[in-house]
Every structure is written in C-alpha cells, then in structure tokens.
A and B are shown apart, each in its own frame.
Chain A
Amino acid sequence: MEFFSLETNLENDLNNMRKYYESGKTKEASWRESQLKGLRNFVIENEENILKSLKKDLGKHHVEAFRDEVGILKRSIDLAIKSFRKWMSGKEAKLPQIALLSSAEIVAEPLGLVLIISSWNFPFGVSLEPLIGAVAAGNIVVLKPSEMAPFSSSLLGTVLPNYLDINGIKVIEGGPEVGEQLLHKKWDKIFFTGSARVGRIVMSAAVEHLTPVTLELGGKCPALLDSLSTSWDREMAVKRILLAKYGSCAGQACIAIDYVLVEKSFSSTLVELLKENIQKMFGDNPKASNTIGRIVNRKHCNRIKSLLNEPKVKESVVFGGSMDEDDLFMEPTILLDPPLESAIMTEEIFGPLLPIITLEKIEDGIQFINSKGKPLAIYAFTKNQTLQRRMLSETSSGSIVFNDAILQYVADTLPFGGIGDSGFGKYHGKFSFDTFSHHKAVARRSYYTDFWFRFPPWNLNKFQLLEEAYNLNYIGMLLVLLGLKRSKRSLYMACN
C-alpha cells in the first residue's frame, strides 16, 4: 500500500517539478544564486549538526569531517557563487575566414531534471558537491542520499529542504527499493557515486530514456613508494600514506590508498616507520583516540573480517588485525605481502587494512599497477623524474598525484573522475557545471551573402566554387571566379 502511494506521489512530484522547470524559473541567474546561497547557509548554520551526523554514522572525528566535507563544500559553494555567471555566459566559437556564418557560439543550457545518487562514506560531500554543479547549471534536482548513513541522510532529507526551493530541488530518502524506483523514471542526467556493480545497474537503467550518466566509482588506488634520500622525506611520505588510509573515513574512501608498493630492501624499514607514526598519530589505543572513523555497518565489518580470514592473508598481518564488532571498529592493520590472488589484493579494500607489496625493483610497480583495473587515483612517492615520467605515460588512472595523496580532491581546477572501471565523467569546480549542462551550438547567418553555386542544377563551375568554399578557401574561390583555376575534374563527373 505504501509502495503504491510512494509511486503515485513520486510520479506527481516529478511531473510538477518538470512543469516548474518549463516555466523557465530555474534558468534565471537569480534562482541559481538563491539556491547556492541557500546551500551555503545550510552548511554554515548546520555545521555542528553535520559534524555530529558524521560522528554518529561513521565515527568521523570532527576535524576530519570538517576537512573532508564541510570545509571543502564551503569553498566549492563560494567558488560557484562567484563564477556561475561567467560559466553561464555563451562562449564565442572562432569562425573560419570565409564568411559563411556571421556568428557562432556555444551556449550552456541546463539538461532538465537530474538525479544525484550519493554514497555513504562522504554523505555530505558526495551529495552536495554535484548538487552545487546541477543547480549552478540551472537544473531541477532529485537527490537520493545513501540510507547507509542514516543520520546524514535524515539531516539532508529534513533540514536541507528548508534552505532550498522545494519546487525545484527534492531530497528523497530510502533504501535500494526507492533507488530502483527512481532509476525507472525519466531523467535528463544521472550522477552516480558508488560501486562498479551498482554503476552498471544505473547505466543499464539509463538506457531506456537515453539518459547520459556520470559514474564516480572506485578501484584499488595504489601508492608507489620509491626510495627517498632524506629521513624527513621518508617520514613525510609515511605520514601522508597513513593519513590517506586510516585518516580518510578509515580507508573507506574511493581515493584512499588501497595498497602500497615498495622495494623489498625497504619493506622492513617501512613497516617500522608506519608503526611508529601510527603510534604518534593515534596513540597506543587508536580506538580510544576516536580519531579513526568507524566501519559503516556490520555487513562491511564482516566483509573486512573475511578479507583477513583467508589462509595466507592472516599470516601476513604484521600490525593490528583485530576488530571490535560491537563498536564497528577495525584497528589500523598492516599486511606484508599477502598472496596476490587473495580477495584483499583483488577487490577494493575500502577499510583500514594496508597491504604492502614488495618488488625487486620499484619500476616493476608499473607493470603491477597495470595488471589491475584502472583506478580512480595513483599515488607515486618519488623524486626521480624518470620514474615520474614513466608513471605518467605508462599507467592510466583518473588522476595521478606525486608525493601526496587525496589532496587532488581539493584542487577544484582539476577534473575529478575515473577511467575504465573507476568510472567516466568528471566534476568539481567548473567541471561540475559542465557535467550538468548541454553545450548547445548556436550559429547565425545573414541574408546578405549567399552562394548561388550552393544550389543545383550542378555544373563544373559550381562544383569548383563549392569545393573551394567548403575548403574555406577565399583565394581559391576568387581564382575560380576569375577563370584562373582549372578543375582537375572531368566535366562528365561533374554533370553526371
């Protein structure tokens, strides 16, 4: 009974939204600005609630939560408010010398009704970052936050609408059944963040209405650690690796470091450095420090447990390894050379387990990385320029960062998105605006210039002229007109 009423309500809601869109309201700059400002107010006024929700859903420390979600969102919103008018304005397209057209431009227009499906690990970031782009581009939006982060979903579902125009933006909460229902509706774009498995389902559903999609998926993001000459550099690298694993939603991030590649000769030093710095960062009792996020739910706890329970994998644990299921806490864990066929080395880990894979030579890392699907990010800690160049040209990933990790997310002049199994499409900054826009070609012609040779019946002379015209060759045309250019073509061909 409830399902049926959700269905009719949904259908009505979407129809009403479309009518609202057709009124043209959301295309206006004033509407877009008001929504962006509404978003900003939501984030500023509810900062504490947001941080609390993230603590409850994922055990995120408020500094981590601020750094990764709130702070970045504020910046993105401010950038959008500052720049959206510029993004909205048409871009002139250079015209060829021949005056076939009097003007040509590319006009960005909204796509219409878009669906944003968000994930649970950065529930605010991954919901609102695309929303910023969609709204700046003048679309109407339905946002479906993940039910696996229930407090965050609730805050988005009940409080966010108070800051926005609910005629044009709706938040629909719910589980997989709601998600499925939504997927069967007609959308002008779907923006999905999540796993490759569900990504396939989303894209397949989009086929019915030929809906373009952006899929932000994941993968096994490797960190290649070269030998670094100074202890300062080594320490820095290790800290950054730790932060990009345990300091990022306890490793449950699409751009978290999944595993580390290092030369055999360095592996024991690395393990020591890692242990030392874990202690410095999280104390003797990481759980009590409350600085590391929690595993999102029991199901994922079991999944992570089973990764460790495979025969040779357990033996390869050199640090950590225990889980407090009641608290959904997995302690920072390091593994040294688990078997390559094990699940922990074939699936995306999405948890605080860090395998270290040793290589004879660091350059072998390139082949290793290429043996797996293209990840969202590759991290290479090296000052060796040859290795850097090789990494750049011989590997493929959404992005590549040298000597750091995760930070690329914050650089809004860089497109954020995947390739191959890590997805397609991109966003952040202006890329968000573009991803929710149709770039319409608009050309104008006057009545003054016309080419009489454009029209049949065809003869050799017209043929020549037309060819020169389409080759955008003024001089050629002039020569033909003056009878100074003979055609290599036979008359027969031209007239038959």
Chain B
Amino acid sequence: MVFDGEAAASLVKELRLSFNSGKTRSYEWRISQLKAFLKMVVEQEDQIVEALRSDLAKPPLETVVYEIGMLKNSCEVTLKELKQWMTPEKAKTSITTFPSSAEIVPEPLGVVLVISAWNYPFLLSLDPVVGAIAAGNAVVLKPSEIAPASSALLLKLLGEYMDNSCVRVVEGAVDETTALLQQKWDKILYTGNGKVGRIVMAAAAKHLTPVILELGGKSPTVVDSNVNLEVTARRIISGKWGCNNGQACISPDYIITTKDFAPKLVDALKIELENCFGKNPLESVDLSRIVSSNHFARLTKFLDDDKVSGKIVFGGEKDESKLRIAPTLLLDVPRDSLIMSEEIFGPLLPIITVNKLEESFDFINEGTKPLAAYLFTNDNKFKEEFVKNVSAGGLLINDTVLHLVVHTLPFGGVGESGMGAYHGKFSFDAFTHRKAILYRGFTGDGSIRYPPYTDTKQKTMKALVAGDVTGVVRALFGWS
C-alpha cells in the first residue's frame, strides 16, 4: 500500500473532521492523551531502549536520560501547568476603547504536522507532539526513516496508546514526506537540516502555513585559559561524545582557544576521553555508532581532506563494518577546510587557535548563526561580551547542552539554524493561536465617532485616540 498524495489528502480530511468535532479542545481529552503518553513512555522503556540500540547503538543510559527522561519531564510539566496555559489572559484596555474589556484566548491551530529527525528519534518526535496535543490540535507525526526501528516502534506505540482519530503516524521516506507536504496543514514543525528545511518552507508557502524549523549549524565552544581544565574537558566531552557521539544539533561542533592554551586543552581532553571511553574507544559501549554508511562516508571525507590530514592529534580510528569512528581531535585546522565549512554532526572535534580570545567573536560571527554557542571562562566581563555579541539560538556559559533541560527557556534557532522555538510552555504556544477578543457594549459612544465630522467631534476624537482624558473632557465641553 503506497502512501501517496491521495492517501495523504484523505488522512488530513479525516483528522480535520475529528478536529472540527471539537473533541481535541477539551481539557479532559488533552489530559487523557498526555497521561496515556506518559504511561507509554514508562511502560515501553525497554522497547524504546532496544530500538535506539538497534538504530544507533545508543547507550541505554543516554536513551533513558535524554530521550525518555526529557520526555517524561516535558509531559509532567505540561500536565501540571496545562490548565493555567489554557486560561485566557486579560488584556488592559484604555480610554480609547472605553468602555470595553479585552482578553487573549489560546486556541488550537487545527491539524498539524511534525516531521522528526533520526538522532533523537523519540525525543524529537514526541516532544513536539506533546506540545501539539497540549494545545488541542490533531497531529500527524512523520518519524525519520533513517532510524527505522524507532520509526516502526513509534507507529506501533502511538497506535496502541493514543486516540487514533486525532493522532497518527506516517512512516516513510521522500515520497511519503512529499505527499504529506502537499497537503494544507495549520502548522508544520520540522527538525532536521537546512536543505530539507527549505523544501518544507517552500511547500508551506503554497498554503500560507506557518512553520517552525529546528535546524542546526556549527555550535562553537570558546575556551578561555582561566578555567578548571578537568571540569571543562569533561563537560565538553559530555556534550560532544556523550550526546549520541556528536550527532546532535547542539553538540559542541568545534573549539576556539588561544594558541598558548590549546596544547593544555588537548592534553586534558585526551586524559578525560580515556577516562570516559577507555583505551579502545572503538569498542566502547558507551558511544553511539554512526547512524548510516552515508554519514560514515561523509565524516570520513572530513578526515581524508588534505588540509587536515596532519592535524589529527588524537583518535582518527574507524571501523566501517561496525560504522564506528573513535573520538577524534584535530588541532589548528585551516579555516577553509571541509570540516570547518559544514556542520560536523559526528565524533570529530576541530580546535581552532587564535592569538587573542577576543578574536573568537569575529570568527563566530563570520559564519552563519548556530543553534547553540558555548563559552568556558571565569572572566565575568568576557561572559557579558559574549552574551552581547554572539547571536545563536541559545548560549550556555561554562557547560554544554544542559540549557535544553530547562523548560522555561525557549529552544530554537535563528538565521540558518532555524525559526520558532519550543519546550515547556513554548511548545504549547508554538501550536496555539492567541486570539484577541474585544468586548464592547452599546453605551458610552455618543456621536463622536461617526460622520458627519464636526470640529468638536474632531477635537474629542483627537484626545480620545491619544488617550488623553483631560483633552476629551475639554473638547466635550468646548473648552479647547
């Protein structure tokens, strides 16, 4: 059975009918779905861990903490705060619209599409779905085919636990995604790369569908010399190889540090890498493998580049049969090398050296805006300069990746790293239309507003529009 344009159209039609019936709007429905969701993630933990082991050889701990743990957290926060999020907010009104009352009411957008990625297939599929459901929408999820076990499991589990009249999964690759993108959605949230992001936005433009694009970029990590080397090295390792072996959109992509400090940093990294992954990292079970042979070839090309061949100072080992690449450090790579021209998304960490650390800002700003930027320093002034001058989706000082755990911070990119954000209440907002409501009565108008326009009316209106109470009174009494 082929999922083509006709099948996609019929799916959307079905979900629209469900949405129009009003069932997804009720607080009860949303809560029931979120609870079912939580149950699913807890009860099926073993299966989820297995799927990720199959797709990425992901260490169980990474799955439980980063995928399941963060999902649980997201669900729990949503369950706790949803009622508040759904409450209309009162908006202040002024004399210009007096007498009146106003409020902003959150309403669901309708039928939304979530297109997910392969590196955190559960988290990146289900976190947006949680937001979509919390906001009262019907949702279709298209997981990545590059993580096939996870994709199949998502189809099975969502089918079992969720309300199928409103929540559906469509598996597939380019053809199926294209069929889905041809339809009219009320919102699309896409996680992936810039190339496909553009395809998604172009398809959305035809239907005037708003989009959230969670893309990537080269997340720089600036390291100052006044830092605790051991802790810094460990935190970089945790965010790089501890996150799906560098295959994460917010992994530190490359390091910038001073020429003087670089050797010390390299030594510290070498020691800590061995502490974490042992002498034989290719065999370490604590590292994910590379997801596919395409990506393996892509990463190998970075290492085979003439410009960097002499720059590998640690690692570089590969095992094509097992799709494994060891944590690799490269020192002093040229700025025009292949590895510095695109997002690495793998276990290779180039170190760029500069004379003065201040130069790092210009270096970063010459490139496109990344999803995250990191700085390790104890110099408070430098921290503030960094925050002021570096533009990225999010910034974290003295650690890597962790800012994702804080649900009160929006997670999203800027420029090439994307548009829109989610997590926590931002997920709810991402799939919500904030409808403005103005209530008026029939009193208090007089004839000021209406033609024929006399002088008095004009003066009163002028004052009214300016919100000038005294002016209004004066005009009405003919004193101005």
Which one of B69, B205, B387, B420 lies within 8 Å of A470 (CB-CB)?
Answer: B69
Q: Which of B221-242 contact A (CB under 8 A)?
A: 227-228, 231, 234, 237-238, 242
Which one of B64, B96, B205, B231 lies within 8 Å of A203 (CB-CB)?
Answer: B205
Decide: B73 and A472 in contact? CB cutoff 8 A.
yes
A159 within 8 A of B: no
A61 within 8 A of B: yes
A402-441: CB near B (< 8 Å → 1, else 0) gives: 1110011011011110011101111000000000001111
A247–B441 CA distance with the chains assembled, in angstroms: 20
Residue of A nearest to B46 (CB): A493
Decide: B102 and A411 in contact? CB cutoff 8 A.
yes
Decide: B104 and A415 in contact? CB cutoff 8 A.
yes
Q: Which of A120-155 contact B (CB under 8 A)?
A: none
Which residues of B have CB within 8 Å of A196? 208
Which residues of A have CB within 8 Å of B439? 401-403
Decide: A440 and B394 in contact? CB cutoff 8 A.
yes
Contacts A94-B408, A403-B441, A426-B434; is A71 near B466 (CB within 8 Å)? yes
Which residues of A have CB within 8 Å of B272? 455
A74–B287 CA distance with the chains assembled, in angstroms: 60
A419–B112 CA distance with the chains assembled, in angstroms: 14
- Chain A: number of interface residues, binned into ranges: 35 or more
Contacts A237-B442, A440-B394; is A210 near B201 (CB within 8 Å)? yes
A201-219: CB near B (< 8 Å → 1, else 0) gives: 0011011101010010100
Q: How many A-B residue pairs have CB under 8 A?
A: 295
B13 within 8 A of A: no
B249, chain A: closest CB distance, angstroms? 14
Decide: A210 and B434 in contact? CB cutoff 8 A.
no
A438–B450 CA distance with the chains assembled, in angstroms: 41
Which one of B202, B409, B442 lies within 8 Å of A104 (CB-CB)?
Answer: B409
A394, chain B: closest CB distance, angstroms? 8
A405, chain B: closest CB distance, angstroms? 9
Decide: A493 and B395 in contact? CB cutoff 8 A.
no
Which one of A243, A419, A446, A496 lies within 8 Å of B285 (CB-CB)?
Answer: A496
Which residues of A have CB within 8 Å of B59? 456, 458
Decide: B91 and A414 in contact? CB cutoff 8 A.
yes
| Prevailing SS type, chain A contact patch | mixed
Of B27-35, B175-183, B318-326, B455-463, the stretch lying at the interface with chain A is B455-463
Which one of B102, B405, B407, B450 lies within 8 Å of A239 (CB-CB)?
Answer: B450
B281, chain A: closest CB distance, angstroms? 10
Decide: A74 and B466 in contact? CB cutoff 8 A.
yes
Decide: B436 and A415 in contact? CB cutoff 8 A.
yes
Decide: A411 and B94 in contact? CB cutoff 8 A.
yes
Q: List 13 A-B pairs, Cβ < 8 Å.
A: A67-B461, A75-B467, A210-B215, A243-B449, A243-B450, A402-B437, A404-B440, A414-B436, A442-B396, A445-B396, A462-B61, A463-B60, A470-B65
> Which B residues lie at the A interface, using CB under 8 A?
22, 25, 46, 49, 59-61, 64-66, 69-70, 72-73, 91-94, 96-97, 100, 102, 104-105, 107, 109-110, 186, 194, 197-198, 201-202, 204-206, 208, 210, 213, 215, 227-228, 231, 234, 237-238, 242, 272, 275-278, 284-287, 365, 378, 383, 387-389, 391-399, 402-403, 405-411, 414-416, 418-421, 433-442, 445, 449-453, 457-458, 461-462, 465-467
> Which A residues lie at the B interface, using CB under 8 A?
22, 24, 27, 61, 63-64, 66-67, 71-72, 74-75, 93-96, 100-101, 104, 106-107, 109, 111-112, 188, 196, 199-200, 203-204, 206-208, 210, 212, 215, 217, 228, 232-233, 236-237, 239, 242-243, 247, 281-283, 289, 291, 392-394, 396-404, 407-408, 410-411, 413-416, 419-421, 423-426, 438-447, 450, 454-458, 462-463, 466-467, 470-472, 493-496
10 more A-B contacts (CB under 8 A) besides A63-B457, A415-B436?
Answer: A71-B462, A104-B403, A210-B416, A283-B452, A291-B453, A419-B433, A443-B409, A447-B228, A454-B238, A466-B61
